Amino acid sequence: MVDQLVAAGSIRSAAVERAFRVVPRHAFAPGVPLVQAYAQDIVVVKRDDYGRTISSVSAPGIQAMQLEQAGIKPGERCLEIGSGGYNAALMAEVTGGEGSVTTIDIDPDVINRARTFLAEAGYAGVEAACVDGEDGYAPNAPYDKIIVTVGSWDVPPAWTDQLAPGGTITVPLRMRGHTRSLVLRRDGDRLVSESAQVCGFVSMQGLGGHAERLLKLHGDMIGLRFDDGGVPSDPSVLDGVLDTPRAEVWSGVVVGRMEPFDTLHLWLARLDGYCLMSVDRRLDSGVVSPQNKMACPALIDAGSLAYLAIRRLGDAEVEFGAHGYGPDGAAVAETLVEELRAWDQDHRGGPGPRIAVYPISTPDAELPPGLVIDKRHRRVVVSWP
């Protein structure tokens, strides 16, 4: 497992590699076959009543990515929000005997397991507490490094209050439906992101929980997910939209089939009416052919809709385009395609957007130009160079 993480570039430092070689992952997943414990995948710990995973040992690639992003140094005081034991043990190895690790979780079962496994594996010095991560954990603050291992929609004030001078918060932050693991450093009263990596995490429960709004089309087959607002005031205007003829518009933007294009998502997320389309696999009758059936960028404008589509060009490449439906479907698809071309010309292959997090009280005039996403406690600004 560790050799693969090194080869993939997920592990980049000697300190993180040593931690992964030392901590026995299987000790935090008892009863799970060794091949599964050491696979490049999550180990599910708990599901909710709908069968959705609410607690897991995260995939090792994601843990390595976050540990490398955070850059914990020997002797640092660390807080992990979202527990399980394994990642806290990795953190304890990196920070060493002079440092400290506190791990918190909202779920008492998770904390009881984590405490037991940590003690059995020789990490009794890691303190595990059952609290809502929204409040951080004041008794052991301040922290040089806070690592959040659960999908967050906001950055609660407790996290910055409990941060030591020069400290960072590594957090998977959801912005208009897209989660990026950010490394946030204080700069005056704002936080500036130093790194943004694509990732997926289970969602935050408790006070910081925030559900996306779901609008269903074509019975229950197709869902449009709206995060951070944008749900149409009268969703019935979209009734029957997918029964109209499809307009297809192609962009001339060609990407390799294995080429990452994650900056495109945040680029398109600027647009009014932006949402993510998903197709229920069990009900799918092929009405729509989005680029990705789990979460595909889409735009709505009154009673019209367009989504990102691809067509194959040989074995190695695809061309981006859009499928539009409804009275202005061709125009909405054209808008999407113009944005694809703008991304291709100005941002593809670039460093991606700058992301900064401001207090919610910051007036518009003091924000940089860009997409402003208002949360409960913060205003997140995504700006493009």
Ligand X SMILES: C[S@@+](CC[C@H](N)C(=O)[O-])C[C@H]1O[C@@H](n2cnc3c(N)ncnc32)[C@H](O)[C@@H]1O
Query: Residues interacting with ligand X, by CB under 6 A?
Result: 54-58, 80-87, 104-107, 110, 132-134, 149-150, 201-202, 204-206, 208
d(CA 83, CA 189): 29
Distance CA 181, CA 176 (A): 14
Nearer to ligand X, 64 or 106 (CB): 106
Q: Which is nearer to ligand X, 125 or 252 (CB)?
A: 125
In angstroms, what is the minimal distance from the CB of 241 to ligand X? 36
65 versus 81: smaller Cβ distance to ligand X: 81
Alpha-carbon dihedral sign for residues 352, 358, 364, 367: negative
Q: Which is nearer to ligand X, 81 or 221 (CB)?
A: 81
Alpha-carbon distance values, 347 to 261, 268, 328, 332, 350 (Å): 10, 12, 28, 22, 5
| Angle ∠(99,104,153) on CA atoms, nearest 5 | 115
Minimum Å gap between C-beta 148 and ligand X is 9
- 33 SS3 class: coil
Q: Which of 10, 13, 55, 233 is catalytic?
A: 55
Nearer to ligand X by Cβ, of 169 and 288: the residue is: 169
CB of 59 to ligand X, least distance (A): 9
Could you confirm whether 55 is annotated as catalytic? yes
- Structure letter (DSSP) for residue 286: S
DSSP per-residue string spanning 19-78: HHHHS-GGGGSTTS-HHHHTSSS-EEEEE-TTS-EEEEEPPHHHHHHHHHHHT--TT-EE
- Least separation in angstroms between residue 265's CB and ligand X is 22
Q: How far is the CB of 185 from ligand X (least distance, A)?
A: 22
**Inter-residue contact 326 to 332 (CB < 8 Å):** yes
For the CA atoms of 156, 96, 121, 32, the dihedral, rounded to the nearest 10 degrees, stands at 60
The residues annotated as belonging to the active site are 55
